[in-house]
Amino acid sequence: MQIATFAAAARRAAVLFVVLPLLLTACSPRDRSSVRQAADAASAADEPPQYVFGVDPHLLGDRYTLPGGGLSLKPPAGWQPVDDDTRRVVERQIRDSVADGPVSGSLIELFVDSDTGSALTILRLDGELSPREIGRALEQAEAADKAVFRHAGMEIVQIRSVAAGAVAFSLITRAAGETPVLLQYVITEAADDRAMRAVESSIGSLRTE
């Protein structure tokens, strides 16, 4: 099944995204304290492994630098930024989904593959939780797997989840002195193995500026 327009693809990506902050919204202050304590204990107990991603430059587009974020990456080739109208729709959905939660998210950019509906959503997260704390809360989602690793000098928390015929890879990280950033790659069932390799290459292209 193909998604014919950027707007439809972006809405699909936004629907998958909004599940994540809702998990944080559901955490009471007491729950958030437990999350923080568990994350601190995990941080003290182990140093995350260094991970090197296979990067195929032919599967990537031009380098994109996050505004004021100290980070840059290359989105998969053919994944284009959405138009202003679509962006406003997604921003409203994100804003509504996190209105009552401890973490709010503001959209930085949304890249969409209009052929398959796969997408990369980039958000800045504002709140008291660190990337590990956010990751620990998100892994409570059904069918979610968490991994913590280092890449390009950064600690990255990755949450893999499956929903609505798509796989989402949500990566939470931050540059030194910056607020956390969420990179969410959504690969739909219409995509092929090449899309998965492109996402791996895109993650591998992530670096600090």
CA distance 61 to 23: 32
In which band, very low, low, confident or very high, does the pLDDT at 95 lie, cut at 50, 70 and 90?
confident
| pLDDT at residue 18, as a whole number | 43
Residue 195 to residues 15, 124, 128, 161: CA-CA distances in angstroms? 20, 25, 34, 17
CA distance 96 to 80: 25
Residue 93 has pLDDT above 50, yes or no: yes
- State whether residue 36 is helix, strand or coil: helix
Q: What would the mean pLDDT of 153-163 be, rounded to a whole number?
A: 86
Q: What would the mean pLDDT of 56-81 be, rounded to a whole number?
A: 93
| pLDDT at residue 26, as a whole number | 40
Does the residue 172 lie in any domain? yes
Decide: 55 and 205 in contact? Cβ < 8 Å. Answer: yes
Does the residue 183 lie in any domain? yes
In which band, very low, low, confident or very high, does the pLDDT at 57 lie, cut at 50, 70 and 90?
very high
CA distance 123 to 109: 7
The structural domain count of the chain equals: 1
Q: Which pTM does this prediction carry? A: 0.78
Identity of residue 164: A
CATH of the domain at 35: 3.40.1000.10
| Residues in Cβ contact with 76 at an 8 Å cutoff, skipping those fewer than 6 apart | 59, 60, 61, 111, 113, 118, 120, 195, 198, 199, 201, 202
Beta bridge partners of 149: 156
Helix, strand, coil share (%) of the chain residues, nearest 5: 35, 30, 35
- The residue ranking higher by pLDDT, 60 or 162, is 60
Residue 27: give the domain boundaries: 6-208
Residue 106 has pLDDT above 90, yes or no: no
Does the residue 11 lie in any domain? yes
Decide: 168 and 185 in contact? Cβ < 8 Å. Answer: yes
Does the residue 162 lie in any domain? yes
How large is the C-alpha radius of gyration of the chain? 16
Does the residue 1 lie in any domain? no
Decide: 205 and 64 in contact? Cβ < 8 Å. Answer: no
Residue 23 has pLDDT above 90, yes or no: no
